[in-house]
Each structure stands twice: as C-alpha cells, then as structure tokens.
Amino acid sequence: MKTVIIATKNKGKAKEFESLFHPKGYEVLTLLDFVGATDVEETGETFEENAILKAEAIAKEFGRFVLADDSGLIVDALDGRPGVYSARYAGEKKNDAANTAKVLDELEEVPETERTARFYCALALASPNQETITVSGSVEGLIAGKPEGENGFGYDPVFYLKEKGKTMAELNSEEKNAISHRANALKVLERKLDQFLAREEGNR
C-alpha cells in the first residue's frame, strides 16, 4: 500500500487526515511509526514557514511524501499574538492552562466586541520528487471571559463561536471537525491533492 507520513506524534490529529488519504489508497503513518525521527525545530516566523520546515525535513529524512501542519491562535487585540508561539506562550514547557490564563490576563481590560480572534492552520505537502505546496484555513471567533467546556484542548475552552453560542470545547468532535481551522485547510488541500498525488506517482 502507498504511504503518506503525517509529521506529528498526535494520533488524534493523524486521524483527521486519514479520511482524506484512505479513499485514495494511502496508508497514513505518523512520526510514532519511526524510531528516532528528527524533532524539527519550528524556527519560522509564520505558520506556513513552520509547516514547510517540518514537511521538507521529514520528506528528506525518509524519502517519502509528507504532510505537516502548524496552527495556532491569532488575537487581534494582542497584535496577532500568541500566533506561532501558541503552544508555548506561557513558557518553553507546553501548558494549555497556563497559555490560556496568560491570554485571558492580557485581555482583561478589553471589551467583548474587541476580543476578536481566529484559529489558523497552515498545511504543507512536501516530497523529495516535487515542489512543496501549502494551503491554509481558519475559523473566526471571540475570546470568552472564562473557559467553558471539556471537549477541546489548547485554547478551545475560551474560543467562543458566536453562531453556535458555544466555545469550541463545548462542541462534540463531529461538530468541531466540520468547522475547525484544520478542517477548512483540509478542504482546500483536497482540491489540490489529486494533482500532487498524480505527479508523485509519475515520479516513482
């Protein structure tokens, strides 16, 4: 079976990509399937740069084609922060609660109408055989005054979706996967994927 590597150690994230690749005859592998895979440093200044760094490094390492993503929270009143630093906003060690608390603290004096934000996701598809492609997707929301909901991770409990009347963490998986930034990026990727796969198979 043909394989694609998803440059992540997050099984849940990989599962989201399976529905895209399985119908096209591809088995989805992750970095958990490769002992000693390089831990690529995310030194880019944009989500796209980080996704490309990861995808190209892993594609070069294993000689296969790779999909990588980088995503995070952009808050308008914070001049776009936490942005590419979303996972480590409160310090080098990843801590969802501390990151969320820092954002809420910084927005304490900001009125609700000015707490606009978006989740943003960049995807990069890289191969040793062809040029890397990138796509992106986002979802708009507001930063709530306090965390609500148990279903999400990261900033989901404070990311309020006005049209749903709920935070992202109050949605079930099916609802979230229908509207999330990653889902929106995947929809764009799907439109470009067949062409990429055809070139990939032509280069074998």
Confirm or deny that 202 is annotated as ligand binding.
no
Considering 33, 39, 69, 70, which one is annotated as catalytic? 70
List the structure tokens of 20: 């895209």
Confirm or deny that 154 is annotated as ligand binding.
yes
Contacting residues for 87 by C-beta, under 8 A, at least 6 apart: 72, 94, 99, 154
d(CA 42, CA 185): 20
Confirm or deny that 71 is annotated as ligand binding.
yes
List the structure tokens of 184: 């929106």
In the residue annotation, 96 being an active-site residue is answered as no
Confirm or deny that 170 is annotated as ligand binding.
no
Cβ density class 117-156: b for 16+ within 10 Å, e for less: bbbbbbbbbbbeeeebbbbbbbbebbbbeebbbebbebbb
Confirm or deny that 15 is annotated as ligand binding.
no
Confirm or deny that 114 is annotated as ligand binding.
no
Confirm or deny that 120 is annotated as ligand binding.
no
Residues annotated within a binding site for Mg(2+):
41, 70
Residues annotated within a binding site:
8-13, 41, 70-71, 153-156, 176, 181-182
Residues annotated within a binding site for substrate:
8-13, 71, 153-156, 176, 181-182
Catalytic residues: 70
